[in-house]
Chains A and B, each alone.
Chain A
Amino acid sequence: MSLNSNIPEGQLEEKWTKYKSTVPLVNPANKRNLEILVVGSGLAGASAAASLAELGYKVKCFCYQDSPRRAHSIAAQGGINAAKNYQNDGDSVYRLFYDTIKGGDYRAREANVYRLAEISPNIIDQCVAQGVPFAREYGGMLSNRSFGGTQVQRTFYAAGQTGQQLLLGAYSSLERQVGMGTVQMLSRHEMLDVVVIDGKARGIIARDLVTGELERHFGHAVLLCTGGYGNVFFLSTNAMGCNTTAIWKAHKKGAYFGNPSFTQIHPTCIPVSGDHQSKLTLMSESLRNDGRIWVPIKAGDTRHPSEIPEEERDYYLERRYPAFGNLVPRDVASRAAKERCDAGFGVGTSKMAVYLDFKFNMMRYGRVEATKNGLTDASDSTILNLGREVVKEKYGNLFDMYKQITGEDPYEIPMRIYPAVHYTMGGLWVDYNLMTNVPGMYCLGEANFSDHGANRLGASALMQGLADGYFVIPYTIGSYLSKEIAVKPISTDHVAFVQAEKEVKERINKLLTINGTKTVDHFHKKLGKVMWDKCGMARNAKGLQEAIAEIKKIRDEFWKDLRVLGSADEFNPELEKAGRVADFLELGELMCMDALERNESCGGHFREESQTEEGEALRDDENYSYVAAWEFIENNWKLYKEELKFENIKIAQRSYK
């Protein structure tokens, strides 16, 4: 099978407009007869389910949580980008497009990214109309802040809870449709397989997590909006339940997996404190607006940070990247932190941390406040107190969160931070329509591979999730469903449904009857350690080859020595976890294969063999300017390459100096 990205002809700026005007439509009477299954209820899933139901389609939406409002989009902190140019600082659709392509280290499709930038302003408008309480200036206008990898202020936000507010907006639209009976919401349901009939996606098998019952659901189209798979590393900023299961089952039923190894390691997270750790907590990138990152100039310096004078501090991001300073993209900031810690300059008890210090900017804000209030001879401590209030308003909840976890007060001493797994740029391969290579099966949001190349810029995940759900899929799904209007709902007694359900049941029984000695977490932690050590921030051929062998071994042990108690026909969280980890144990291997195959460094994918003299990622455009799309073939994979063409951007060595 070959890959066709189905990118419309024409000038970059006109592709989407023309597409929208010419894409086949489905008339309202026919929409009522077409059923769409949406798996996942985060920003992409909730916005898609609501928007498609508004158009008149019959929609079912599934989520594993007890309510669609809890999808992990809720935890996104910092903001959402949009090319509004409200700040009059030179922003434009082209500039957002350019920043995103460059930020992704030239490994994303031009046409998709341009569409994303073009749609971005509509997202803000839509959310405002829903009653999303974005931050405002005193004049009543929307407020913006800066994020990494850009030199304009285009990030809209709601304190440190932007994801929460956007998701609650999408959730309210979704619940409105639920109330109207146009969406059937199935919470505490997990998709365990996709049903393919005559080469087209026609339904799913879902498990009711409360009763354990397996259910068959038919759909003319299936949308997978199930988020990222960062939990393959065990420790990540993802929620405990985030998983790859839905897209992995789809992959095993024929959908290609795009760039599986492209993982984002976020530079500012609270460091690991011990073996008991179950997850890592992000400290928003927005903090880098007002925090300066530093380590002591002297290796192994154990002095309290307040005792280290200015001239004995190394603000290494400002030193290495003067043009972007603390606001370099995430991959660059993460590697720089790792480099300093590996070289012995790390701080804290573990020495695997750097400081994120707000004092400088608290003083700066304090001076502004003092001037505003006419306090001409304010003391330093008064100024600091005034500045603290400003910082509190911007990031109060993040500072509180930090204090809860570490027991330290970041208003008084600098935060200690270290990189952690945060986001996966890889995901199911999709064309311009967001359709996988399996007709009728779509993939939206973080679950697909499409827009961020090898590194995602901050505040772009929320943008992509909502763009896909509110503004892309409502159009692109028409090009497929307009040809499906004559298809009557297929009975769930069809042999394909029966067979899929049988396989799911057998697998569940297998997990419950191994009767081994080790818990699910035991295997998950082992896998996570291999992935972090060998497929994490720095990768090399030898390590990746070892990792592949080690993962296979862990997988064998898992299927021989796992212990899951309880039964299949009850609420059984351990059983859910076991199924997810079984899938991670397969995905991990593919991630390592992909990382091994791509013998270049790009974005978050850093191959030690391929770096500049200054230790920056060195791309190899001649050999690797493509999307790696992997096809699952029983116990192995086959690689297809979608060549990336850059017709509107001159590609160059990425520089933030």
Chain B
Amino acid sequence: MSGNMNLTLKIWRQKNNKAKGELVNYKVADISPDMSFLEMFDVLNEQLITKGDEPVAFDHDCREGICGICSMHINGRPHGPKHGITTCQLHMRSFKDGDTIVVEPWRAQAFPVIKDLAVDRSAFDRIIAAGGYVSVNTGNAQDGNTLPVPKTDADMAFAAAACIGCGACVAACKNASAMLFVSAKVNQLAHLPQGQPERMERVRAMVAQMDKEGFGSCTNTGACEAECPKEISLVNIAAMNRDYLRANLLDSEG
């Protein structure tokens, strides 16, 4: 078909967590511009299996940009060249015939490689488990309208809550910092009345867990915001720092 592309792929192959990885070259032909990037990987894997080579392992599930599992570092950018989308939402019309595309896993000490392009992001779950919730048991709730929430607060909470936990922020950061992820959850709850009782304890606990997991420090470069597929704002980090400082001051006052 006209408009279809032939491409060279350089893909990170790594047998398991302990093995040494390397970039391996592959060719794919006749790729339609309407395909998604992951569908192009499907084509590659079908080709590899038919040839008797092991397919490339990569994480993917919803393929509509919401589950947050897909995680490819494409030509040096998390989720590839387009702004505000995940890998699964990237379409081949963003590339041209003859292109060479380099695909690597997320690179961060706190995200060890499992195999090829799949990494372990369970550190994020542990950060949420440390405090990313409102302590309310099922059955405790009062009527949802008894506590009005100003629309602007609800909207700001929602904007922060749109985070899909993909880890692109960490992958984009030269320090592999998880500040954007953590601050998104902290601020979602900080904007809502339901989040107030535990606000100070929450930020301290989540930051402590983040540090324990081995994520790096934030130096306000802003790469995380630039690469975030859900366009989570850097303002969240500033707001979290404010809360964190306050929490520690309050604590030192005893």
State the A residues within 8 Å of B (CB).
47, 50-51, 54, 65-70, 72, 74-75, 84, 86, 121-122, 124-131, 133-142, 158-159, 161, 164-165, 168, 171-173, 175-176, 178-179, 185, 187, 210, 239-241, 273-274, 276-279, 281-282, 400-401, 404-405, 407, 470-471, 474, 517, 519, 521, 563, 565-566, 570-574
Instruction: Tell whether B144 is near chain A: CB-to-CB under 8 Å.
Output: yes
Can you add 11 more A-B contacts, CB < 8 Å, to A66-B120, A133-B191, A279-B63? A66-B121, A69-B128, A122-B141, A172-B132, A179-B129, A240-B63, A281-B64, A401-B64, A404-B85, A519-B45, A570-B15
Given contacts A176-B135, A179-B130, contact A565 B54 (CB under 8 A): yes
A164/B66 in contact, CB under 8 A: yes
Contact of A67 with B124 at beta-carbon distance under 8 Å, contacts A50-B138, A565-B54 already known: yes
Say whether B63 contacts A165, CB under 8 Å. no
Tell which of A84, A128, A274, A281 has the most Cβ of chain B within 10 Å: A128
Nearest-Cβ distance from residue B29 to partner chain A, whole angstroms: 13
Nearest CB of B to A31, in Å: 14
Q: Which of B36, B122, B161, B189 has the most CB of A within 10 A?
A: B161
Interface of B is mostly: loop
Closest Cβ neighbor of A187 among chain B residues:
B122
Q: Does B174 contact A (CB under 8 A)?
A: no
With A240-B60, A570-B115 given, is the CB distance from A277 to B134 under 8 Å? no
Q: Is the CB of A124 within 8 A of B46?
A: no
The answer to the question of B81 belonging to the interface, with a C-beta cut-off of 8 Å to chain A, is no
Interface residue? B211 (CB, 8 A): no
The answer to whether B138 and A70 touch across the interface, beta carbons within 8 angstroms, is no
Identify the 8 closest CB pairs spanning chains A and B, nearest first. A140-B148, A179-B129, A172-B133, A125-B141, A129-B141, A128-B144, A133-B158, A133-B157
**Judging by beta carbons under 8 Å apart, are B67 and A70 in contact?**
yes
Q: Which residues of B lie under 8 Å from residue A142 when comparing CB positions?
A: 144-145
* Chain A residues whose C-beta falls within 8 Å of the C-beta of B60 in the assembled complex: 240
Count: A-B pairs, CB below 8 Å: 225
Q: Are A130 and B125 in contact (CB under 8 A)?
A: no
In angstroms, Cα B42 to Cα A54, docked, is: 42
The chain B residue sitting closest to A563, CB to CB, is B49
Is B129 in contact with A176, judged by CB distance below 8 angstroms? yes
Q: Which interface residue of B132, B133, B143 has the most chain A CB atoms within 10 A? A: B133
Q: Which of B93, B128, B151, B192 contacts A172 (CB 8 A)?
A: B128
Kindly state the separation between the CA atoms of A137 and B64 in the bound complex, as whole angstroms.
28
Interface pair B162/A161, CB less than 8 Å apart: yes
B68 touching A405, Cβ below 8 Å: no
A158 to B144, CA, bound (A): 14
B115 touches A54 (CB 8 A): no
A129 to B134, CA, bound (A): 8
One digit per residue, 1 when the CB lies within 8 angstroms of any chain A CB and 0 when it does not, for chain B 63-76 equals 11111110000000
Does B22 count as interface, using CB distance less than 8 angstroms?
Answer: no
Contact A70 B158 (CB under 8 A): no
B34 at the interface (CB under 8 A from A): yes
Contact B188 A67 (CB under 8 A): no
- The answer to whether B161 touches A165 (Cβ under 8 A) is yes
User: Complex Cα distance A130/B144, Å?
Assistant: 11
Q: Which of B38, B68, B125, B144 contacts A68 (CB 8 A)?
A: B125
Which chain B residues (105-129) contact chain A, with CB distance < 8 Å?
A: 114-115, 118, 120-122, 124-125, 128-129
In whole angstroms, how far apart are the Cα atoms of A138 and B165 in the complex?
30
Are A70 and B144 touching (Cβ within 8 A)?
no
Asked whether B39 is an interface residue with its Cβ less than 8 Å from the other chain, the reply is yes
B221 at the interface (CB under 8 A from A): no
Contact call A75/B66, Cβ cutoff below 8 A: yes
Neighbouring B residues of A571 by C-beta, 8 Å: 16, 57, 114-115, 118
**What's the Cα separation between A301 and B157 when bound, in Å?**
46
What residues on B are CB-neighbors of A277 within 8 Å? 39
CA of A352 to CA of B113 in the docked complex: distance in angstroms?
Answer: 43
Given A130-B133, A131-B188, A185-B125, the answer on whether A67 and B63 have CB atoms closer than 8 Å is: no
Interface string of B179-199 (1 = CB under 8 A from A): 000000000110110110000
Asked if residues B46 and A66 are in contact (CB atoms below 8 Å), the reply is no
Contact A278 B141 (CB under 8 A): no
Say whether A278 contacts B129, CB under 8 Å: no
Closest B residue to A519 by beta carbon equals B49
Choice from A125, A400, A470, A563 contacting B144 with Cβ under 8 Å = A125
Chain A residues whose C-beta falls within 8 Å of the C-beta of B99 in the assembled complex: none
Task: Indicate if the CB atoms of A67 and B32 lie closer than 8 Å.
Answer: no
Question: A128–B141 contact, CB under 8 A?
Answer: yes
Name the distance in Å between A544's Cβ and chain B's nearest Cβ. Answer: 30
B213 contacts the other chain (Cβ, under 8 Å)? Answer: no
Chain A residue contacts of B53, Cβ below 8 A: 565
Check: B55 CB closer than 8 A to any chain A CB.
yes
Docked pose: A140 CA to B136 CA in angstroms: 21
A239 and B61 contacting across the interface, CB-CB below 8 Å? yes
The interface residues of chain B lying within 8 Å CB-to-CB of A86 are 145
Contact among A134, A140, A179, A279 for B150, CB-based, below 8 A: A140
**23 contacts across the A-B interface (CB closer than 8 A):** A65-B69, A66-B118, A70-B61, A72-B67, A129-B194, A164-B66, A164-B164, A172-B132, A173-B133, A176-B129, A176-B135, A185-B125, A210-B114, A239-B62, A241-B61, A276-B32, A276-B39, A404-B91, A407-B93, A570-B115, A571-B118, A573-B55, A574-B55
